[in-house]
Structures are given as C-alpha cells and as structure tokens.
Structure 1
Amino acid sequence: MSTRPDRQPLQPPDRPLSLAIWNFTSQWLLIPQGTGIICVIIARLHYQFNGLQTLAKIVWIYTIVLFGLCLFFYLLRILLYPKDVRHQLRTNLIETSCLSCTPIAYTSILQLAILQYGDRAGLAIYILWWTDTAMAIIVSLGIPYIQLKIQAPGVQKLPPVVLLPFVAVLTSAAGGGAICRQNHVSARLQVPVIIVSYLEVGIGLAVTTGFNVIIMFQHFNQVHSAADKVFQDMIICGPLGQGAFALQVLGEAAQGSFGAYKRGTFLTDKAADTIGFTSQFLGLLTWGYGIFWWSFAILSICHTLGVFTNAAVVFGRIMDSPAFYVISTAHLLILLVMWLVNQILTLRGIITGRMLGLEQGRRRKGAFHTARARDLAENKGV
C-alpha cells in the first residue's frame, strides 16, 4: 500500500533562522494561553493586596505581547512553509489541537479588559467577544472533524490534548458571562450573549464527557506507557473547570438580564432566579467532576490548572466561602511557581536553540527528524 504524498516528511531548511521558523509549531500558543489565565486569576482573587491589580495589568500586557509574537511567527511559518504546515495539520493531532489556544488566549485577554475597562469600552469589548466566539465555534467544530475524519488516530492513540477545542468554546462562554456581568451594555445586547454562551457550554461539556470515557478506557487497558506524558491527564480539568466557571457567571448574568429583557416565558424575571440558581448548582457538580481528574493527576504539571482555579475563585465569591478563598489562593501560588519555572526553562531553551531545533545557532545533522520525533514523543509544551 503506497503512502500518500501529503503524509511524507518534508526536508527542513538549512539556515538556522529558517529552521527555527520551520519548527515554530502551534504548541507555542500554549504559552500566552497559560499566561492569560494567570492574569485573570490574579485580578479576580479574593485576597487582594496593594499592587496586585497592577501586577495583573503587567501580566496582561505581557500576555498580549506573547500572543502577538506567537501569532506572528506561526503565520510567518504558514507563509514560508505552507506544505509543511499542511502536512502537520493532516497528520499531527497535537498540531491541530493546539490551534485552539488562539481563541482561548484571546478570551483571557478580553476577560481582563472587561475587568479593567468594562465601564469605558464596553461596546468595543462586546464586539470583540463576538469575533472570539466565532473563532471558538469554528475551532470546536472544525478541529474535531479533521481529527476524526482525516487524522483518525484510533481509540488507542487518542491523547487528552484533543480536549483543547472544547476548552476554547467553554472559555468563550465564560467570557460571555463575564461581559454581561461587568460591561455597561443593555439587557437587549446581553441576552443574545447569554443564550449563545449556554449553547457553547452544551457543545463543550457534552463532547468532553464522551472523550473522557475514551481516556478512562485507555487507562483501564493500560494504553499509556512509561514514555507517555501522564501529566496530560490534567488537561481534562480544563473543559470541566472552565465549564464550571462558565455556568457560574452565566447564572449570575441571567439573573441580572432576563428580568430587564422580559420577552416570552423563558426570558423573564420569574425564570431568571430559577435559571441562575440551577446554572450555579450545575457548575458546582461540574467542578466536582473535575476534582476526580484533578486528584488523578495532582502530582503532574499542566497549564490547565488555571481554569480549574478560576472556578474556585468564583465559588468563593458566590458562596462567600473562606474555604474556597483559601483553595483558590493556594492553587494560584502553585500555578505561579509552575508558570515561573516554565517561563525560565522556555527562555533557556530558546537561548540554547533546543526548543527550535537548533544548537548554538547551527542546525545539527538530523536535528529536524530528532526534534520532531522528540516533540511527538514528549508532547513538548502541552
């Protein structure tokens, strides 16, 4: 049986800078994604002290810079090496999944913009959210289709990273709830956001549950070997934690908007309290579901601890619970340590050239094949 031409490995360039761009995969987008989640948590944390909001703004600006740089170099890679990018998107699950980081990072940037400038730039942020939501929906529908119909790795080889598209759509839903709570826009503009956001929650949580069954099946059948990155199991906390957070803020948004909108039998003040309390209760159940997977992978390192912590922050606020305040603060401290270590190691990898397939500015013999093999084996950056 012959191999299809678009699945054949391509020859990398010889020049160091060209090779670095060649090796700039979508996994680099995970860096601004994780940084954006941290800045939102810092801004929303219950235990505030002088300068914490300033720190959140600094990290927010840093996130925007990182996001812009990563997008620039990835788009440059597409322009210079379209055949290689097409090859990766047809054959590499991680490459397609990590494209979901674009709307996730974008939403995190918008969430802090809402907290900082919601009273002055509410309508502009509102419009930007709709563009983000369009990207998130395209990602949540298009990437799984590619993975199921074109890549089709099989049940035995399905990694948890495939959940990232659903983290994107759930993050968009959470951003929609935050816009309705913080922005000074009318109920007429808020209600469509709430309805669409609930639909996004339905997409994200329903499909995530199905993928979780497959991942648990893999563990029962001992599919994961010692060489696999077990910490990827923490990724499962991403859609569950973000789904819990979305249900909480959307419940609050419904209580504030439906009564002012007053249309039909569903969008009324009578239904608002029931919808709001039910949504928050379902958020608590979803967060409890996430506790199982978080506990399962508690000793591992993964970026998705951030959205799990974000849900704990909001639970503390809506319950006025000291226990959740302490939990969210402890999670943030752990997350900060992990983030700092990751930033330092990433910077060192860039300086030495190892993370870009380089060594001391020159391409080693066979570096491309070694780097690509290492990426696939270790799922670098996930």
Structure 2
Amino acid sequence: MTITSSAVRSRTDLCSAIENELSGLIGKRASAATAYGADFARLWALAGKNVLGGKFVRPLLLMEAYDALRQRHHEHGPAETRRRETAISIAAAIELLHYAFLLHDDVIDGDLVRRGHPNLIGSLLAEASETARRDGTDGTRAGSDLHWAQTGGILMGDMLLAATHQSFARADLPHELRLRLLDLLEHTINETVAGEQLDVGLGDGVIAPDLRTILVMCGYKTATYTFELPLRAAAALAGADFAVENALATAGRHLGLAFQLQDDLLSTFGDPRRHGKDPFSDLREGKETAIIAHARTTNAWPDIESFFGKPELSVDDGAHVRRHLSACGAEAFVQGLIEEQMQAFNSQLTTTIPAGVRNVLLDLAGQLEGRQS
C-alpha cells in the first residue's frame, strides 16, 4: 500500500507527540535520579537516548488504529482532545515497556550491541572499562565491568516496567476502562515473560525444540506485545465493540507471528549491513527457530548440527550452515509459514474490522513484506 503525503505528515506529527510524551516521562525520572548519585542518573540518561532513538512501531500502531476508530464518531472539542492525549500517554508507556523487555533480553542473551550500536549494557561496559584503564585497574577487575553493566540493564528494565504501570494506573480514564487496560498490561507481561522462558528453555535444551512449541514461543514473545497490545488498547480507548477488539487482536497475532518468522529469516539469511545484527548470531547462540526445527527433520541435519550453538562459529562456517539450511528446504519452509500467517491475517480483515483500521493494518503488512531490517 502506498503511503500518501498526508499520512506521512500525520505519522511525523504522531512521532513528535509520542517523543514529547516519552521525553517528559523519562526527563521527570532522570531529574529525580540525580538525588541518588551520578551513576544512577547515568542509567536514565542512557535509557532516554536509546528509547528516543526507536522506530515507535508499537505506539504508532496504537495511535493510527485509535485515530481510525475515532474518525467514525466525528467528535471534536476539549473532551476529544483530552481523550487523544490520554491515548498518546498510553502509547508512549507501551514504548517504555518495549525497551524494558529489550534490556532484560539483552542481559539474558549477553548482547552488547543493538542495530549496530552499543546498547545500554554495551555503553556501561565501555565506560567502566575506560575508567579502569584510566585508573590503571583494568587488569584487576576481570568480569566486574560486565557484571556492573548487566546489573544496570536489569535494574533499568525493572524501573521502566514500574514506569509503565504508573502511566497506565494514572491515565485520565474512567475507572473500569483503566482496570481493563491494567488487566491487558498484566496479560501482556505474563505472555511475554512466558515466551522468554520458553526461548531460554529451548536454547538451553531444557525444553524439546518441536515446531509447535517454537511457534507458541514466537507468539508470546513478539505478537502479544508488539501487535495485540497496541491494537486491543486502541480499541478499548476508542470505545470500539469487544468483537472489533477481538478481531483486531487475532489479526495482530497472525501479523506478529509472520513478523517474528521473518525476523528469524533475516537473522540467518539477511544482509547484516542492513539488519544491523551480528551475522550468524542466532546460529552461534543455538537459537531454536522454525528454520532449525525444519532442518532437524531433514538429512542435512548431521552437516549442520556440529556447527549449531558453536560460540566461535566463523563467517565461513556460518555461510556453510546457511547453504545447507537453504538446500534442505528450511528457508522455503519458513517462507511458507509466513505466507500462511499472512493469508490468515488477510482473511481476518474481512470480518468486523472497520475500513479505516483495515487500511492501517494493510499498510503495516506492506512494510513487513518489504522489510530488510
């Protein structure tokens, strides 16, 4: 779907409104953090830099769906303005939630880089190492700098989770609607954490890596908070029927699963110069994806298994594994899974979803189809 110039302007305005709200949320807490010392304040400074540099996929989805649903009411005036401002505050809080999850995920995975740049943990590690080098103590603190940096990631993630709950709980909304959104937030956190636990269990060999479990994990980790939460929240805030909310959530789940499957394909077969990730990091980590689940069922697996989960995997070895994964049909198999999810998504659009929101989802699906990063 082609995005019109008016849509681009609207999206730019939305990004500015979301960024302003996030700046306020983070700025208030960063100011309060100075009372606890420079190191604590530094956490908030780094968090603000990273949060404000995001793509705002989730808050934009919420606001564009919200605006599309509210267009049918043709309401104007102060009350409608306040309602929309509240929606923006909830959208911004969801971006805080996203970053909290990223921080914890980076600690669990031991990642120091995101999209080609140091993440919060990587920045803290570099700063601690530079201080140790300058003070002449770098040879006596083996492991301490990394522990310090990862602790910062955990604690900052915890604080952002608390900030997200504060934003939802203090929203200018009727009591029942506020409770509805808080329940939705709790459900989202439960599913995302359950998905993370499954992911680690699969990677560590605690949980059997069958395709069904891997797809459930993908749904929990990605679809629930990236697509379902913004769409359900938009519907609830806009006063849409529960049938519409459910239809949007179902469409979001199909789109979210397609998104995660494509992300796995990009990590293994994509160009790292475009997606910004460490090439072959999924293979080095032994990440159980639908790609690997299919490969395990083929005769090519013995040629892949010895390299899978090998931390020192070289670029040449990674290319060797990638060729086998493609030749055994794993790449095509996952592409087929993506097509199935997109077909189910398109079928869902023909149900009770209003035309305006349907266009928002079609636009998002179009971005997914051409995604390289």
TM-score (norm 2): 0.30
TM-score (norm 1): 0.29
